[in-house]
Chain A
Amino acid sequence: MNSFFLGISLFLCLLIVPCLYRAIVGPTVIDRMVAVGAIGTKTLIILILMGFLYERIAMFIDISMVYAILNFIGTLAAARYFENKGEI
């Protein structure tokens, strides 16, 4: 089972690469924001899988929840910032 989780984690890490490409190259701000959001979601899943691997799932769920909240706030703040042209 461990190698299964490890495999999925590695696969998700690989999937981050195209998102990272879009985040760096992406011509518009919106592209970058969506890419960062997608990376955040993948990181969340990887964190939980890490929890399974280290058999400390309760701890990693806590961490991933904080990550989810901050990801949401970050996206919202960026969207607000660019919508209002520099004002929050």
Chain B
Amino acid sequence: MNHDSSTNRTKPYTPLTSYQPVFSQRRVEQVRHFTLAFVLLLLFWLLLSGHYDVFHIVIGVLCCLLVSYTSSDFLFVHVGADDTHLIIPRLLTYIPWHLYQIVVSNIYLAKLVFSPLDRLTPRIMPYQTKLTNGLALVTFANSITLTPGTITIDLDEHTFYIHAIDSKVADDLLTGEMEDRVEKVFLPAAHAKVRARTMLAAESNNLIVKTIVRLFTPFIQIYGLYVIAHGHYSPGGGFQGGVILAASVVLLALAFGLRRTMTKVTEKLTTMLCSSGVFIFGGLGLLCLLLGGNFLDYEKLDLFLKVGAPQSRSLGILGIEIGIGMAVMACMTSIFFDIATAGELPDEPSEPLTVDDCVAAEDAVNE
């Protein structure tokens, strides 16, 4: 979680001259990452939603604020704030080239499939890479896998192990054009070079899985919240959205280890979410009962909402969906935790999961 911002909010106003070192570079970067994550997630939400009235956009903004508060440190760990605006446009020019490569090798492979069997000469070859940046390594590994004919099997420090289906695709890869292009995309700003190098050592273990999960998690969470909030228009609702949210926690546990995930999604949090979800559901239902209707008779809520019967029915359902979503997410998560730990809590407290380890290692180097 974003500890600094919570302490910051309670702090009284301090004049500019007494700025603490905590506030400086690191703090600015955090705020920048938060804003960038928020914008990206909101774009994703608008793309999904398709409802552009004030009500839905307000819900979207709230959900995006929530997710960027909990998960913005997942999105931007490797990229220094100075590089982000450089990398995104470069990536946008790399993608069309890569799509073209995919089409070309697809056609080649289709021909290969219909030719005699002895033309296939599959091999596994090591490939020494000059890339050092973690994101660049992951992009290159995935580019190789996406291109038909070659698959990345393993990444070990600076060596890729690649399966190639015949000599031509292998030779194409060995010319190194793809690697050069990927390198160009992630070329850091001059002063950020130290940072790029220290990151690899910190996270070389399962680098690809960790990076992909790290980048996906906020979007999966936004998707889960979208399913909850749009339950009365499209398939889904509280149950499905809650399961998707829980799936994002499971994904984190698979990539970063169960214990480190449990430092972020603690048992206290799941218990609180679970019981308050049930409270919202039961509370709304009983409120309708108190107002003279049946259990969950949403129309009676119009007494407070004053928006007309159909509208308050819709709002009532949304409230119920939110409650169910919270409860289901918390229940699924704690069921997963209980099964995966076989009912035994970890003895020693684990180091917290902030994915900031790389940044910490980097700070140590800079000092």
Is there an interface contact between B234 and A62, defined as CB atoms closer than 8 Å?
yes
Is there an interface contact between A69 and B234, defined as CB atoms closer than 8 Å?
no
Q: Is A1 an interface residue (CB 8 A)?
A: no
Is there an interface contact between B250 and A77, defined as CB atoms closer than 8 Å?
yes
- Complex Cα–Cα for A58 and B240 (A): 17
The B-contacting residues of A in range 13-65, CB under 8 angstroms, are 58-59, 62-63, 65
> Hey, which chain A residues are within 8 Å of B223, CB to CB?
65-66, 69
Q: Is A70 an interface residue (CB 8 A)?
A: yes
A61's nearest neighbour on chain B, judged by CB, is B48
Is there an interface contact between B235 and A76, defined as CB atoms closer than 8 Å?
no
Q: Tell me, rounded to whole Å, the shortest Cβ–Cβ distance linking B88 to chain A.
A: 23
Q: Tell me, rounded to whole Å, the shortest Cβ–Cβ distance linking B202 to chain A.
A: 21
Is there an interface contact between B50 and A73, defined as CB atoms closer than 8 Å?
no
> Hey, which chain A residues are within 8 Å of B213, CB to CB?
76
Q: How large is the interface on B (under 10, 10 to 19, 20 to 34, 35 or more residues)?
A: 20 to 34
Cβ contact of A88, chosen from B227, B234, B340, cutoff 8 A: B340
Q: Tell me, rounded to whole Å, the shortest Cβ–Cβ distance linking A18 to chain B.
A: 14
- Complex Cα–Cα for A72 and B255 (A): 12
- Complex Cα–Cα for A59 and B223 (A): 14
The A-contacting residues of B in range 60-107, CB under 8 angstroms, are none
Interface residues of A (CB under 8 A from B): 58-59, 62-63, 65-66, 69-70, 72-73, 76-77, 80, 88
Given A66-B244, A77-B250, 7 more pairs with CB closer than 8 A: A58-B234, A62-B236, A65-B223, A66-B223, A72-B251, A73-B254, A88-B340
Instruction: Name 9 A/B residue pairs within 8 A (Cβ), A-sorted.
Output: A58-B234, A63-B235, A66-B240, A66-B244, A69-B244, A72-B251, A73-B250, A73-B251, A76-B209
